[in-house]
Amino acid sequence: MKHMPQELRKQTLALVNASKPAAESSQVEALIAAWLASLDDEDLAGTSPDSLAPVLWDGFFQAARRTSQGCQIAQLRYSDGRGGMATALLILNDDMPYLVDSIVMALRKQRVGVTGVMNSVLAVRRDASGNAVAVGEAGSPLESFVLCLLAEDLPADELAALVARLQMVARDAAVVRRWAIGQIDDIE
């Protein structure tokens, strides 16, 4: 069955809310709702709420607490819609130019098949422990949430190599950004 983007957003959010544990954070739900709402309609084409909802809950549950200033990658599995499982990655990083392009190039360089890359930039205020306390608040730092739905379930060693490459790409993008705004003088 083909879903219209608004219907897909609504159904996915309903599935997320129905499957979450009762005591879980409302900030996870707020992150997911804001992320879904800000996606372009084309980004959602071909995705199934049944496959997307568990990935979003698990990934954003991890992203609700930022464990470091650098790139944070949640490694997930999802139903590929063909009766099997595949790997998904939710990449949380400070927003910066060319981040998504760099991620896509890293995926290609590793020869990883991808069924979808969805990115949304959200304003997120966090407390001193890294916990999200407000989403969409004006003046809050911008964070990029990139969901990569891979075409297959990667073996552990290939997944580890991919995550290492993605973390390197994010570090490189941060260096270029600091250089571009004059925080460092030379890039070696």
pLDDT value of position 1: 45
Neighbours of 173 (CB within 10 A): 22
pLDDT tens for each residue of 162-171: 999 999 999 8
Query: What is the pLDDT averaged over residues 86-109?
Result: 93
How far is the C-alpha of 114 from the C-alpha of 104, rounded, in Å?
Answer: 9
* Residue of higher predicted confidence among 7 and 143: 143
* Residue of higher predicted confidence among 93 and 11: 93
Q: Give the residues across from 93 on adjacent strands.
A: 144
pLDDT value of position 14: 84
| Cβ-based burial of 112 (10 A; exposed 0-12, middle 13-18, buried ≥19) | buried
30: nearest Cα among 78, 63, 71:
63
Neighbours of 121 (CB within 10 A): 17
pLDDT tens for each residue of 17-75: 777 665 557 889 999 999 999 998 888 877 888 888 889 999 999 999 998 888 999 99
How far is the C-alpha of 148 from the C-alpha of 154, rounded, in Å?
Answer: 13
Neighbours of 91 (CB within 10 A): 25
Q: Is the pLDDT of residue 9 over 90?
A: no
Q: What are phi and psi of 48, to 5 degrees?
A: -110, 135
The DSSP bridge pattern shows strands 85-94 and 114-126 to be unpaired
